[in-house]
Amino acid sequence: MNLFSLFNRRSSAPVARERLQILLSHERAERGRPDLLVVLREEILAVVGRHIAVEQDKVRVKMTRDDDISTLEIDIEVPNAARARVLLHA
Amino acid sequence: MAKVLVVTSGKGGVGKTTSTAALGAALAQEGQNVVVVDFDVGLRNLDLVLGAERRVVYDLINVVQGDAKLSQALIRDKRLENLSLLPASQTRDKDALTADGVSRIVTELREKFDWVICDSPAGIEKGATLAMRHADIAVIVTNPEVSSVRDSDRVIGLLDSKTERAEKGELVEKHLLITRYDTARARRGEMLKTEDVLEILSIPLLGIIPESQEVLRASNLGTPVTLSNPMSAPARAYIDAARRLRGESLVVSVPTDKRSFFGSLFARRVA
């Protein structure tokens, strides 16, 4: 280490702090992801339920993530009518 | 009313076992009835840190499987009569630890002691989740270093979702214990400051244990640091932390070993 680099050496703790803040905000969001599906399921059920009687366990929400496309699949079984299938591609 | 406390961290080598021994001893020194339980099945070390390695006859797994009574497995400390140890098994597989068995033992220990301190293994597998399962209070041991802080954040998430309290919609009381802290390096910007770690993890601070040669000396001797040298900086930090666990509100400072003029100048308030 020469004299120049000694003076130029940026303290490393602020770098650590910033890296952690960015990383953890991602990881915390990631952890919340399974819950997102639960929330979606509840809200979809509430909206559809306003118009059609739907049974709790007849609603399936599935999310698949691939490299270039993510799919949100919502499958609702409607009684006394033709099976309604809603597919959303995001 | 007995309290179950888990000492946890996610990351290994940050000072869980040292902190379990020191906090357990400090509480016992204050007259509390304490049991420390080693959950690290297959890699037990709490017995060694407490200097009781040659007195282990029965262990946690023997009690879980009904091969020994709890009273047969408990080892009373020779220096502190109200401090007991329930050792982990060294030879058995960690799968021998069952949720029902742990639940039964914790219930029984609650009746006998004021404090049940569970020393968690590293990681987030079965041993660690069972150690935190019945906790009322958690002490999260963190070094001011990126990987330790990240793992602590993960463990905080588990405490909020995988514990008995979390499943009942209640909260586990969480406390941050920063260990191996070097005030001078933090001041020079070479180490995360207490404020940084607190801001990132956002849980209340229980104490700051300064980096000190006394910690290694204590484990060499098989004596908790609060007993081997009660006036040393880490011992004073642990004793204060134990008093905070009992509800006292003390200002958190970083004790220093050298009581020089400069030393006392820098033993300033930090939170």
Q: β-pairing, B34-38 with B3-8?
A: unpaired
Residue B238: name the closest of B259, B216, B207 by CA. Answer: B207
Judge: B150–A28 Cβ closer than 8 Å, yes or no.
Answer: no
What pairs with residue B84 in β-bridges? B35, B76
Q: Which one of A7, A15, A24, A26 makes the best mutation probe of the B interface by having the most chain B beta carbons within 10 Å? A: A24
Tens of pLDDT, residues B109-155:
999 999 999 999 999 999 999 999 999 999 999 999 999 999 999 99
Rounded mean pLDDT of A40-47?
A: 80
Q: Which of A14, A19, A28 shows the shortest C-beta gap to B146?
A: A19
Between CA A63 and CA A67 the distance in angstroms is 13
pLDDT value for A89: 44
Mean pLDDT to the nearest integer, B46-56: 97
Tell me the nearest-neighbour CA distance from A18 into chain B, angstroms. 10
> In this complex, is the C-beta atom of B112 within 8 Å of any C-beta atom belonging to chain A?
no
**Which of B153, B196, B200 is nearest residue A13 as measured by Cβ atoms?**
B196
CA distance linking residue B60 with residue B69, whole number of Å: 10
Q: Which residues contact B206 (CB under 8 A, 6 or more apart)?
A: B139, B175, B176, B177, B241, B244, B245
Q: How much is the ipTM here?
A: 0.83
C-alpha distances (whole Å) from A19 to each of A9, A15, A24, B60, B200 are 18, 6, 8, 41, 11
B129 versus A29: the higher-pLDDT residue is: B129
Q: What is residue A5's predicted lDDT score, i.e. its pLDDT?
A: 59
> What is the average pLDDT across A66-87?
67
| Phi/psi at B236 (5° precision) | -65, -35
Confidence tier at A87 by pLDDT (50, 70, 90)? very low
Segment B80-107 mean pLDDT: 93
CA distance B83 to B176: 23
- Per-residue pLDDT at A1: 54
Q: What percent of chain B has a predicted confidence (pLDDT) above 90?
A: 89
Min Cα distance B109 → chain A (Å) is 34
pTM: 0.80
pLDDT of residue B271: 52
Q: How many CB pairs under 8 A join A and B?
A: 36
Cβ separation A13–B192 shorter than 8 A: yes
Average pLDDT over residues B37-50: 96
A-chain CB neighbours of B146 within 8 Å are: 16, 19-20
* Residue B208 · residue B181 · CB < 8 Å: yes
Q: Point out which residues pair with A88 in neighbouring strands.
A: A72
In this complex, is the C-beta atom of A38 within 8 Å of any C-beta atom belonging to chain B?
no
- Please check the confidence at residue A90 and state whether its pLDDT lies above 60: no
Averaged confidence pLDDT in chain B: 93
Q: What is the pLDDT of residue A3?
A: 59
Given this model, what pLDDT does residue A69 score? 76
- pLDDT winner (highest mean) among A11-25, A61-75, B208-222: B208-222
Two structure tokens written together for B167: 């499943």
Distance from CA of A42 to the nearest CA of B (A): 19
